[in-house]
Amino acid sequence: MFILERDPNFNLRFIQSNPNYKTKVAQINIQDFRNAPKLFIAFTWSDKENTIYVGKYGRDELRSVNSFEDPNIKFRVGKDGGIYQIGDEGVKVGFYRVKVGEKVILEPIAKEIFDFQMEKIRILIENCKKGDFLFESTLIQQIIVILTTAFEVYTRTRFIELEKEGKVINMEALYDPFILKGYREQFKEERREIASKQGKMELEVFIEKRQVNFQNWKDFKDVYNKGYGLKIGGIGIPNDILLDVQRFIDWRHMIIHSKDDRTMMNFEEVPPAEPIFTNKDLAEKGLSVFQKFINELHKSTLEL
């Protein structure tokens, strides 16, 4: 989305906003041109930077300014077709939802939701004071749960976003591993009928019925591979990061479903393994691991 606007101080702003990238702003003051009968305005844009050019119409001399990235300003198109500005210079918005009547017309994208969750975890870690071990351990266990939930929400939401962005989804390959053969054709027809009635995509209805468990590593890998041909092990993420993400997901399940206290995450492996305690250091590692993984995964989805 490209936007050209002028503020009260005669700053002309050329803004490029894309949900998957930081907003680029090229700003130039046109106060000196206020008496000109006509202005010549031009723009160039690229992956690296954008540029705005301004000069008096009919003259060869042009002033130009290159863009800068502003993570606080975003422009989004709602389901109602309206354009909404999220945040502004010096005003950071972590999460947003726009509702008209009973209908939600604008929500954050998958990466924005994930980044907001990571910011909340960072704040929890920063305010976790060492000294009260029971408090620290309890908080870190909840952080592990939040990390895995953020992983699930991102991977599920992003999976649907990709088709909306024009990526080709292989629905037939999706049905085969997740739906029993004898029920498959009936299930397809039911999903397609629901999608038609609700004005949704077939994929959206399929995922809403939670046929895929995105907190299950195998399900997650299979669905991205079969749906979009994206192999998680082949996108350049270091193997230790892949293993750590799986380990934290497994730990989340242990915290939620085990009757045992999880002050030590690997009690069953000690000895000979060294104990892994649910402390601040473990939370910092988890935050780093999940951010690295999702950032690389997101880049790969943009290149599909």
* Mean pLDDT, residues 7-20 taken together: 89
Average pLDDT of the residues in 130-158: 93
Q: Report how far residue 241's alpha carbon sits from residue 151's, in angstroms, rounded to the nearest whole number.
A: 14
Where do runs of H (alpha helix) occur along 76-170? 110-126, 133-164
Mean pLDDT of the 246-266 span: 91
Give mean pLDDT, residues 257-273: 87
Domains of the chain by residue range: 2-70, 74-106, 110-302
Considering the chain, what is the average pLDDT of its residues?
Answer: 91
For residue 159, give the nearest of 193, 119, 210 by alpha carbon.
Answer: 210
- Of 60, 55, 64, the C-alpha closest to 26 is 64
- Percent of the chain residues past pLDDT 70, beyond the cut: 99
Q: In the structure, what pLDDT confidence band is assigned to residue 199 with cuts at 50, 70 and 90?
A: confident
User: Given a cut of 90, is residue 228 above it in pLDDT?
Assistant: yes
pLDDT (mean) for 257-275: 88
Instruction: Please state, for a pLDDT cut of 90, what percent of the chain lies above it.
Output: 59
Phi, psi (rounded to 5 degrees) for 260: -85, 150
What pLDDT is recorded for position 210?
Answer: 67
Q: Furthest-apart CA pair in the chain: how many Å? A: 82
Q: What mean pLDDT comes out for the span 181-199?
A: 87
pLDDT(212) > 90: no
Report d(CA 234, CA 78) in Å as an integer: 35
- Express each pLDDT in 70-106 by its tens digit: 888 888 889 888 888 898 878 888 889 999 888 899 9
Q: Are strands 68-70 and 23-29 parallel, antiparallel or unpaired?
A: antiparallel
